[in-house]
Amino acid sequence: MSEPHNYHMMPKEFRHYGKQVIDWIADYYEQVEKFPVLPTVKPGDIYAKLPDHAPQSGEPFADVLRDMNDIILPGVTHWQSPNFFAFFPSNTSGPSILGELLSAGLGQQGMMWLTSPACTELETRVMDWLADMLALPEQFHSTASGGGVIQDSASGAALCAVLAAREQATDFAANSNGANGKLIAYISTQTHSSLEKAVKIAGIGSANLRRITVDEYFAMRPDALHRQIQRDRHAGLVPFFVCATVGTTSSNAMDPLPEIGRICRDEGLWMHVDGAMSGTAAICPEYRHFLNGIEYADSFCFNPHKWLFTNFDCDCFFVANRAALIKTLSILPEYLRNQATESGAVIDYRDWQISLGRRFRALKLWFVIRHYGLEGLCYHIRRHVQIAQQFAEWIKASADFELAAPAPLNLVCFRHHGGDDVNKQLLERLNKTGKLYLSHTVLADRFTLRLCVGQTTTEESHVCAAWELIQKIAGEFHKLKFF
Ligand SMILES: *Cc1c(COP(=O)(O)O)cnc(C)c1O
């Protein structure tokens, strides 16, 4: 009997179009500098180009690929352009993309050791490698009391940290009885918004989140933190969690980890360290000092999907005491019971994260680390920092511009002397050229431009060209007597 008709893409066809897709991606990277970094589409343009209804009959794959060029490509922001300097980067690289492809090909669901031993054990090994590469203290290794896990995001990691901290502070009672409304969490005025979200989701309540003031360099003030903790204790409240940041999103400020860490140790609070982008720098021995004080931390995360040449989504989350995290998040319904789990000899990463299911994300990270080697990774991270530092020097030497904050690594915050309106106009005009993309922030109530060097292939020439364009457009302002 022959097989009934089906609609699947057969291996022969898959092989054919698969090669075309790889070529498409390679072509894209060869041409990415030609596209305007920000697309020129208006809201609704892309939606309107797509059919009102899903197709009744399947379409040729060639037509789908054609629409990638005609409809999708004109509507994407080119994060992988070396002239993308906005926000923080969202990295990719050849080995990472290929690792993602293989992950898709294998289609693993690695919720437990049993459902994919290789997915679990490669992740454990790669996370131990990274703990080594960052010179994290012993307790963050799987061979000691803790270990690492790949999360979808720094936001997901922050939520896990807040939940584990909440349970530790309540002797694991909040999981059954709910949070008691007295737990107090501490961040700075510059901490990423994902911490507020985590505090809301975890039932702590945003009214129980304290935003500690920062110093003139936008770093959390430990004296203010200490005073606020005392005030809350006197009011009968229960301080339980502090997040310190290595490289804030707005200005790359470095919270003083040793001072904050000692307060957390003395007061018995969970310390989470958010190093989303800048944590990566610690793989280079000369930048490892940014993690000094990490020995006090209960948890730490950084994003290879920001600045370690690895595709989104890939946040590496390390805990010093995995038992607290697992006890907080583990649930064992009958249908997931199995001997490997009962034996206690394996890791089931579903107990280390919010969702049950998980992709084989360690593959891309493993490919990246093996392709570049520690040497190659450090080389490119250093290059980015050097290029950003050079840009910062140009700003300092310029008569028209000034630095708006210290530039410890690869983010430079700067502004024109002409005031907020001039800086806003300058940003708009620069981004309209399509030749680069910068974003902004507000520091000490003043509109500030940000240039972040972190896209995988950004080189000195790109930042040189950016500086020339910035000066040229600012110069046109002079002629127009804008100020
Ligand atoms: C980008 C960023 C985050 C959020 O990262 P996601 O992985 O997108 O959730 C958190 N903290 C800091 C400091 C960041 O820069």
CATH number of the structural domain spanning residue 68: 1.20.1340.10
| Ligand 1 atom showing the smallest separation from residue 313 Cα | 7
Domain membership flag for residue 433: yes
Give residue for tokens 């690492």: 148
Cβ(263)–Cβ(222) under 8 Å? Answer: yes
Same domain, 63 and 138: no
C-alpha of residue 17 to centroid of ligand 1, in Å: 35
Domain membership flag for residue 172: yes
Domain end, chosen from 296, 324, 359, is at 359
C-alpha of residue 154 to centroid of ligand 1, in Å: 5
Confidence (pLDDT) at 255: 98
- Residue 304's nearest CA partner among 110, 123, 37 is 123
Mean residue pLDDT of the chain comes to 96
Same domain, 397 and 332: no
3-state secondary structure of 440: strand
Percent of the chain with pLDDT over 70: 99
Domain end, chosen from 330, 359, 388, is at 359
Confidence (pLDDT) at 1: 63
Same domain, 335 and 189: yes
pLDDT in tens, 157-197: 999 999 999 999 999 999 999 998 999 999 999 999 999 99
Same domain, 388 and 353: no
Domain membership flag for residue 99: no
C-alpha of residue 6 to centroid of ligand 1, in Å: 44
C-alpha of residue 465 to centroid of ligand 1, in Å: 28
C-alpha of residue 394 to centroid of ligand 1, in Å: 28
Nearest CA owner, ligand 1 atom 2: 276
Mean pLDDT of 406-432: 97
Confidence (pLDDT) at 342: 84
Confidence (pLDDT) at 180: 85
Q: At what angle do helices 460-480 and 362-397 cross, to 10 degrees?
A: 40
C-alpha of residue 276 to centroid of ligand 1, in Å: 5
| Ligand 1 atom showing the smallest separation from residue 191 Cα | 13
Q: What is the per-residue burial (b if ≥16 Cβ within 10 Å, else e) of 265-278?
A: eebebbbbbbbbbb
| Ligand 1 atom showing the smallest separation from residue 249 Cα | 15
Same domain, 303 and 381: no
Domain membership flag for residue 257: yes
Domain holding 18, by residue range, is 11-34+39-76
Confidence (pLDDT) at 482: 55
Mean pLDDT of 396-418: 97
C-alpha of residue 352 to centroid of ligand 1, in Å: 19
pLDDT in tens, 13-52: 999 999 999 999 999 999 999 999 999 999 999 999 999 9
Nearest CA owner, ligand 1 atom 15: 249
* CATH number for the domain harbouring residue 448: 3.90.1150.10
Same domain, 413 and 310: no
| Ligand 1 atom showing the smallest separation from residue 158 Cα | 10
For residues 268, 269, 272 and 273, what is the CA-based torsion angle, rounded to 10 degrees?
-70
Same domain, 427 and 347: no
Confidence (pLDDT) at 406: 97
Domain membership flag for residue 151: yes
Same domain, 223 and 334: yes
pTM of the model: 0.97
Same domain, 387 and 314: no
Question: CA triplet 176, 180, 185: central angle to 5 degrees?
Answer: 110
Domain membership flag for residue 60: yes
Domain membership flag for residue 380: yes
Measured CA to CA, the distance from residue 253 to residue 220 in angstroms comes to 9
Pairing assessment for the beta strands 238-245 and 270-274 based on DSSP bridges: parallel
Q: At what angle do helices 460-480 and 420-432 cross, to 10 degrees?
A: 120
pLDDT in tens, 111-167: 999 999 999 999 999 999 999 999 999 999 999 999 999 999 999 999 999 999 999
Residue 198 pLDDT exceeds 90: yes
Nearest CA owner, ligand 1 atom 12: 276
Amino acid code (one letter) for 242? V
Q: What are phi and psi of 403, to 5 degrees?
A: -75, 140
Same domain, 339 and 431: no
C-alpha of residue 473 to centroid of ligand 1, in Å: 31
Confidence (pLDDT) at 481: 58
- Residue 158's nearest CA partner among 315, 365, 351 is 315
Same domain, 314 and 443: no
Residue 380 pLDDT exceeds 60: yes
Domain membership flag for residue 267: yes
Under the banding of pLDDT at 50, 70 and 90, the label for residue 336 is confident
| Ligand 1 atom showing the smallest separation from residue 303 Cα | 7
User: Six-digit token pair at 335?
Assistant: 């249908």
Q: Domain count of the chain?
A: 3
Measured CA to CA, the distance from residue 378 to residue 460 in angstroms comes to 17
Confidence (pLDDT) at 121: 98
Under the banding of pLDDT at 50, 70 and 90, the label for residue 335 is confident
Confidence (pLDDT) at 341: 86
Domain end, chosen from 332, 359, 386, is at 359
Task: Using most ligand atoms within 8 A of CB, pick from 151, 190, 249 the residue to mutate for ligand 1.
Answer: 249
Same domain, 128 and 190: yes
Distances (CA, A) of 51 to 54, 56, 58, 307, 428: 7, 12, 14, 37, 33
Under the banding of pLDDT at 50, 70 and 90, the label for residue 340 is confident
Kindly list the protein residues whose Cβ atom lies closer than 6 A to any atom of ligand 1.
88, 153-155, 192, 194, 245, 248-249, 274, 276-277, 303, 315
Mean pLDDT of 209-226: 98
Nearest CA owner, ligand 1 atom 7: 153
